[in-house]
A and B are shown apart, each in its own frame.
Chain A
Amino acid sequence: MAASLSARPRSAGLLLAGCLLAVALSLPLAVLLGVADVPLADSLATLSGGGSAMARSILLEFRLPRVATGVLAGINLAVSGLLLQRITRNPLADPSILGISQGATLAVAVFLLVTVYSHAPGGNTLPDLPVAWLPAVGLVGGLCAAGLVHLLALRHELGPIRVTLCGVAVGALLHALAMGVIAGWGSTRVEILLEWLAGSLYARSWDHALFLAPFTMAGLALLPVLLRPLDLLGLEAAAARSFGLSYRRAFTAVLCLASGLAASAVGAVGPIAFVGLLVPHLARFVVAGHRALLVPVTVMLGAVVVTAGDLAGRLIGGADEIPIGVVTALLGVPVLILLLRKTP
Chain B
Amino acid sequence: MPVTCSSLSVVYGRRQALSDFRLSMAPGEIRGLIGPNGSGKSTALQTVAGLIRPAAGQVEIDGTAVHGLPRRVLAQKLAYLPQHPAAPEDMTVEHLVRQGRFAHVGLFRRYGPEDEEAIRWALDGTGLTALAGRSLRELSGGERQRAWIAAALTQQAKVLLLDEPTTFLDIGHQVEVLELVRRLSREQGVSVIMAIHDINQAMAVCDAISLLQNGVLKFDGPPAALAESGLIETVFRVRGRFVTFAEGGPPHFDLSLGVIPA
A residues near B (Cβ < 8 Å) are 1, 4, 7, 89, 225, 228-229, 231-232, 234-236, 238-239, 241-247, 284, 289, 291, 344
**A243-B75, A244-B72, A344-B137 in contact; A232/B82 too (CB < 8 A)?**
no
A243 touches B103 (CB 8 A): yes
**Residue of chain B at shortest CB distance from A237:** B51
Find B99's partner among A7, A89, A232, A238 (CB 8 Å cutoff).
A232
Contact indicator B71/A246 (Cβ below 8 Å): yes
**Nearest B residue to A289, CB-CB:** B92
Question: Whole-angstrom distance between the alpha carbons of A289 and B72 in the complex?
Answer: 28
B87 contacts the other chain (CB 8 A): yes
B151 at the interface (CB under 8 A from A): yes
A-B interface, 6 closest residue pairs, ranked by CB to CB distance from nearest: A244-B75, A244-B103, A244-B72, A242-B80, A239-B85, A236-B85
Contact between A291 and B95, CB atoms less than 8 A apart:
yes
Chain A positions within 8 Å of B51 at CB level:
238, 241-242
Which residues of A sit under 8 angstroms from B132, Cβ to Cβ? 4
In the complex, chain A residues whose CB is within 8 Å of the CB of B103 = 243-244
B111 interfacial contact with A, CB 8 Å: yes
Contact for A242 among B81, B91, B108, B137, CB less than 8 A? B81
Complex contact B75–A4 (CB within 8 A)? no
A4:B49 contact, CB within 8 angstroms? no
Binary per-residue interface labels of chain B (75-87) against chain A in the complex, 1 for a CB within 8 Å, 0 otherwise: 1101111100111
Interface size class of B (residues with CB under 8 A): 35 or more
At the interface, yes or no: B133 with Cβ under 8 Å from chain A? yes
Contact indicator B148/A239 (Cβ below 8 Å): yes
Bound together, the chains give a CA A335 to CA B72 distance in angstroms of 41
Closest to B42 in A: A238
A214 to B95, CA, bound (A): 33
Choose from B86, B108, B155 the contact partner of A235 (Cβ within 8 Å).
B86
* Contacting residue for B87 out of A1, A234, A246, CB 8 A: A234
Tell me if A89 and B85 are in contact (CB < 8 A).
Answer: no
CB pair A4–B79 under 8 Å, yes or no, is: no
State how many angstroms separate the Cβ of A100 from the closest Cβ of chain B: 23
CB-contact partner of B85 in A235, A244, A247, A289, under 8 A: A235
Known: A4-B94, A7-B133. A244 touches B76 (CB 8 A): yes
With both beta carbons as reference points, the residue of chain A lying nearest to B91 in the complex is identified as A234
* CA A7 to CA B129, docked complex, whole Å: 14
CA–CA, A231 and B85, complex, Å? 15
17 residue pairs A–B, Cβ–Cβ below 8 Å: A89-B88, A228-B102, A232-B99, A234-B87, A234-B91, A235-B85, A235-B96, A238-B85, A239-B148, A242-B49, A242-B80, A243-B99, A243-B151, A244-B155, A247-B71, A289-B92, A291-B95
A103–B76 CA distance with the chains assembled, in angstroms: 42
Set of chain A residues within 8 Å of B148, measured between Cβ atoms: 239
Q: How far is the CA of A234 from the CA of B82 in the complex (A)?
A: 15
Q: Is B179 an interface residue when CB atoms closer than 8 A count as contact?
A: no
Cβ-based interface call for B70 (8 A): yes
Known: A4-B92, A241-B51, A344-B137. A231 touches B99 (CB 8 A): yes
Chain A residues contacting B111 (CB-CB under 8 Å) are: 1
- Is B262 an interface residue, CB under 8 A from the partner? no
